[in-house]
Structures are given as C-alpha cells and as structure tokens.
Structure 1
C-alpha cells in the first residue's frame, strides 16, 4: 500500500475544493486533492454549467420557433425549426469537457497532486483512497472536507426508470412528450421551463402554497406569468404519491384532498439536495453536526483540530460561489494568513425565465432588523435596453435603512439580470448608501441603469418613471 504525506489534503474537487487546492498551491502549501469523479464536482459536471447550457439551447430554439411564419414583431421569418437533443447534449458535454481540462490544468499549474479515487477516513489525519491501481494512504497536517451534495430522493419515487434527478435530465437523448416535475424550487422550474420551450408538455407539482417559496411574491410574479405563457401546469398545495401501476403517470393528491393522475414519460424529482456525508468514514472522526450538515465556525473549522469543511456539506446556502470563497479563505488560513468569514451578502440567482437575483435582505427581513426602511422600485418597462431586447417584464428593487440610507438588500427579476449580481454584491460589501448608487454614472443604454434609477426612486427623485 502506497503512502504519501502532505501539508494539506482536500477531499473533493468541486468548486470549493479545487479553489482551495489551487490557492494553497499558489501559496506554496504542499497540497493533495482527492476526487472520485471528474474535476469540477456537481456544479461543473451535472449542475450549474450543463444546466445553463441546456437553458440557453432551449431559449434559442423557442426564439426561432416564434419566428416561424413571420408572426413575431421583429419582422424575421424562418422555417419551423427542429431540435436534435442528442447534438445539444453533445455540445453541452463539450463545454463541460473543456472546463474539466481547465480545472485539471490549473491544479497542475499550482503544483497540486491529484489522486483519483474514493477517500475514507482512518483518523483525523489519515485517509485511505481506493484508486484504479490499488489503495493509497495519505497523511496530512490539515484536511478540508469538500464532499458536496447529491439530489435528495423521495422514498416513494426512487430514482430509476422514468423517475430521474437533474443529473439524468441533463443527459436525455430526446425531449419527453410529457414531463412531470416534483418540486417547484429553482432547479425544478429552471429545467421545467427549458423542456417546455423545447416542446415538452410540463406539469409542476409543489406541496407548498406557491413555487419559488424562498423568494417573495412580488419578485416571483413575472416568473408565474411566464409559466402560464409556456403552457406549464402548476399544481400548488399538491403532494406527489408515486408512480401509477403502469409507470406512465404520476399519482398526486391535490390541495383539496382528491386524487389525480398526471400522464408523464419522465418524472423529474427536484426536492432539494442533501450533503454527501456517507461512505467516507465520518464516523471515524466524530465531528459535531447540525442536523445532516457538518458544524463549522467563521473560519470553516470543524469540532476536530486541523479539519475544515466547506461548501454544501456545511449547509445553506448551497451555492458554488459560497464554496469557492470558503475554499480560498481556508487555504490562506492553512498557509498562516489571518482570515475570517464576514460576508455581508452572498448573491443568489435563479435562472428561470425571467431570471431572479437576490443579495442581502428582503424588505420583510430589513424591516425586522432595522425598523423603518426605504424601498426603491424601478420597472424594466421604463428601461430602453430592456425594451429593445423584449424584456420589459421585471424590475430592480433596493431596500435601505430610512435613517442613514445604508443599502441592506437588492433584488431584481428580468431578462439577463444575473449579470447584475456582481454590482449588487459589491454595493453591499462596500457598505453603499442610496446616494452612492444614485451618484454613480451608469452606462446608457443598459439594464444596469435600472439599479441607479431604483436608488433615485428610493431617494424620491427618479428620473425615468
């Protein structure tokens, strides 16, 4: 059995793990990273990147479909389009492959040793890795657990056959005629809307009174409107019960307690994700837990000295950019730098149609914290750039303290608003006030002007609404 020793061992090469390893390598820390799959983790391989590729393809197909017959307002006429999903998936896989190679190259450039295989803890300083060439023991002074998460499964709808997770949905060879989506969160709606644009008849089953429950009703209203335009049936307060006897339909208990059957070629279960804490010897190191998640402090330290945990395995928000920021911080701590975790805001994006962005506090959260607040609301219907790209639905909203105008939260819904997330996050991190945003010259014509106008509206003198 081979043995190697290192300063830092990172378990998992997802966004948090590979960023941690690269930064540690840059700082001269002798680092080993272990990954049983491809570099990039869920996000790069079966999550963020491939889903956005599929969403983009669906949007392009729908645009062309609307142009068929010259019925669209732009005066463009084309023949009715066809979609070869096999080619679409192959293109998506090509994007993923290039990024896989990029991550591997960056790890090599930072002089990080990569071990392919499944790691299991022997104790707090030692893991055993099952590789293709046999077992390898790795001893490290510090260990970072970045094992990520996996799709949550329902006991009465186990994955297999017609029941699929987001992973299988991103690798289908053809568009299902009828798709039932269990779960009206961001994953279910992102993929459900994409398949609807590609021609599937989609039904969404959500147990709660509304979809996208983590966002406020005002923010999600344009998305609900778009669901209707796409012909997506949304069943609220409804509970999935299992497959029909023939396996060709989803059995549902409706909000009024009646039984219903939704015909479906595929049933996509998107009821959240769970941390990957099983199968790698967690019981050997006896870490403190918070429910299913590993407990950490503001420096991502666990209850055992020398062991850190980052990313999805540590709880919400399960976002790749949160894991990356944690990974960079931990690498610098291991290298002897003074670092802490004090983030004012971690932006979250929902890539539905239209897109949603939130950063900081919602109006209700801000009221609970600060009391009296000011809200600036600017509609994209009054924004020239949004109008020229047929994206008038939506708005930018700023929430600030009433006394000193400190910005507490920023939200937006509309086409391409995901690209405003960086500006929103920066404003919050820098402690911007309404006057700072209102006084910053924003380029024209851009949707970013809506950010400035929302600040002006909160101050009582909006210019374009």
Structure 2
C-alpha cells in the first residue's frame, strides 16, 4: 500500500510512477532541493508538479539516516538537510535508487592490468582502448551515461576502429529519456549549464496546450523548449516534457548532429495535425516568431 523511493533520479521516478499508477501511495525522498538534478531546472519543476498531481509525494532536502525492518513495515528515519530535524514514518516497501556504478568488481581486471577510475569504470581513451593492448571497453562498464543507445553506438564505433575504419561518436547529441507519464526527453545543454559557462543563448518554448493533435488526444500537458546560441542560432540543447517526448526529441538530435540551427527546424514543413508541430513552433519562438501562440 505504501512505498518510499530513496532517490529522486530517473530510475526512482520511473519505478515510483509505475507503482503509483498501480495504486500504491508513493513518497520520494531526495537529498538535494530538486528532483533529477541533471535535468533542466524549468523542466524538473514542471515534472514534479505533474507527478504530484498523480499522487506522488516528495520530501526534498532530506536524507535517510536509519531504517528498521518490522514484520509488515519498514520504519524510516529521515533528516532535513537544512535544520537537521528528524522525522519517522513507516512504509510497506522501501526502494533504493541512489545511482548505479559499473559492475566490474568480480571481473578481476586488476590481474591483467586493466585500470579503473574512482567510480570503478574501466578507463578508456578516445578509441575505447583500455590500459591493456587489444582490450576495449564500451557501454555501462566505461565512463559516461549508462544508456543502452549510448552503449550501442559505442559498440559500432569501437568495432569500426578495430577494423581500421573511420568512425564518429558525438557525446553531445546523446538523448536521455525519462519513461514516465508524461515522458521527459533531453539532449545537449541545460539552461543551468549555459549560464554556468557564460554562454549567450536564446530560448524558444511552445506548449502542447496550443497543439491541435495534443488537444484532440487529451495529451496537452507539457511543452517543448529549445536553447540556441544567441549569435549563430546553433541549437545547444532541447528539453521536452509531454506525451511521446522521447519520439519528438529525435528530430532535434538530428539537427544538432549536423550542426543545425533553430531556423533550420523552423523552415521544415511539419505535417498537420501532429505533435511534431510543437517542435517547429518552439524553433520559431527562439526568435519570437511562433505562429500559434
């Protein structure tokens, strides 16, 4: 009946939202002051509001300091990161979701001289070579995001390198998807990252509430957000929250891979009525030219 999810990252929210839809009362405790810290802040705020509407509860800026298992429940003690006050609560189930690390401990790699980094990932160079000749590493055991599509692309690139072929791998255009309802999709830089690097940028947004297809399918929650360089108009990042966000982001990934601009997407004819029109409108809105808002 009740579940505590420790960790407000991608996996914890995906699993928590599933159990919530099955009727479980889900509480998420997160040490930081926001969910999914790597996500664009504006998107994360909208995302949490959506999950709260679905019944999930959040205890931000809290950490779990103790647990005590009983016959039917688990008593959990949580402590505030701000005033250090502690609260206790009981849950039927506790789901630990505080991140992953490469599963390299039982591979005995040290016996053959393969070096690991501090996160226990296998150290590789730009050609996926390890510290031992003829041994390569890709995917979850190598540094970088633990994503199946990232591992697949690395596998192809690695084999091409071994065969002496030219290859290409752009880590700036690897999309990340949160498979919840609504979905959240991201590629490239967040606003926070651009501000930190003092990059001058412009923003274009378009809500699904103004998209005909989204309205007719009752999937009008969320919006598309595109970040572009202020001078060159090159797309620096894109973030989507809404139905089929994981599908829609592919167009922007393609544009970024080939150095495309917001204007490039804005000039492409998008079929009507489709939710992809929201991507075009967001691209237009980078320069304040959106037609339907």
Q: How does 1:178-257 map to 2 (within 5 A)?
A: 178-246=2-70, 248-255=73-80, 256-257=83-84
C-alpha separation in 2, matches of 1:343 and 1:223: 25
- 1:448 equivalenced with 2:273 (yes/no): no
Instruction: Say yes or no: does 1:392 pair with 2:217.
Output: no
CA-based RMSD: 1.7
Which residue matches 2:256? Answer: 428
Alignment of 1:269 onto 2:93: no
Deviation at 1:418, TM superposition (A): 1.0
Contact 1:249 1:261 in 2 (8 A): no
Q: Equivalent of 1:290, from 117, 124, 143?
A: 117
Cα distance between partner residues in 1 of 2:166 and 2:242: 40
- 1:100-111 to structure 2, matched below 5 A, reads none
Paired residue secondary structure (1:289): coil
Residue 349 (structure 1) aligns with = 177
Give 1:161's aligned residue.
none
Q: What is the correspondence of 1:47-446 to structure 2 with a 5 Å cutoff? A: 177-246=1-70, 248-255=73-80, 256-291=83-118, 292-369=120-197, 371-446=199-274
* CA offset digits 1:262-300 (Å, max 9, x no partner): 222211111111101111221112223321211111211
User: CA separation in 1, counterparts of 2:196 and 2:46?
Assistant: 26
In the TM superposition, what is the alpha-carbon distance from 1:229 to its structure 2 partner? Answer: 1.7
Q: Which has the higher contact order (CA 8 A, sep 6+)?
A: 1
Q: Distance in 2 between matches of 1:454 and 1:359?
A: 15
Q: Distance in 1 between matches of 2:192 and 2:5?
A: 30
TM-score by length of 2: 0.93
In 1, the alpha carbon distance for the partners of 2:161 and 2:180 equals 37
**Residue 340 of structure 1, CA deviation:** 4.5
Query: How much does 1:245 deviate?
Result: 5.0
Tell me if the contact between 2:40 and 2:192 (Cα under 8 Å) persists in the aligned partners: no
C-alpha change, 1:302 and 1:353, in structure 2 (3 Å) is same
Q: 1: CA distance between counterparts of 2:22 and 2:69?
A: 28
Q: For 1:196 and 1:388, how far apart are their aligned partners in 2? A: 26
CA contact (8 A) 2:170 2:257 kept: no
Name the SS of the counterpart of 1:275 in structure 2.
coil
Q: Following TM superposition, by how much is the alpha carbon of 1:216 offset from its aligned partner in structure 2, in angstroms?
A: 2.4
Q: Helix, strand or coil: the match of 2:107?
A: coil
Determine the C-alpha separation between the residues in 2 that align with 1:261 and 1:384. 47
4+ residue stretches of structure 1 with deviation over 4 A?
Answer: 367-370
Distance in 2 between residues matched to 1:365 and 1:245, nearest whole Å: 41
Per-residue CA deviation, residues 93-150 of structure 1 (Å, 9 max, x unaligned), is: xxxxxxxxxxxxxxxxxxxxxxxxxxxxxxxxxxxxxxxxxxxxxxxxxxxxxxxxxx
Q: How many residues align?
A: 289
Structure 1 length as normaliser, TM-score? 0.60
Cα offset for 1:444? 1.0
In structure 1, distance between residues paired with 2:278 and 2:79? 40
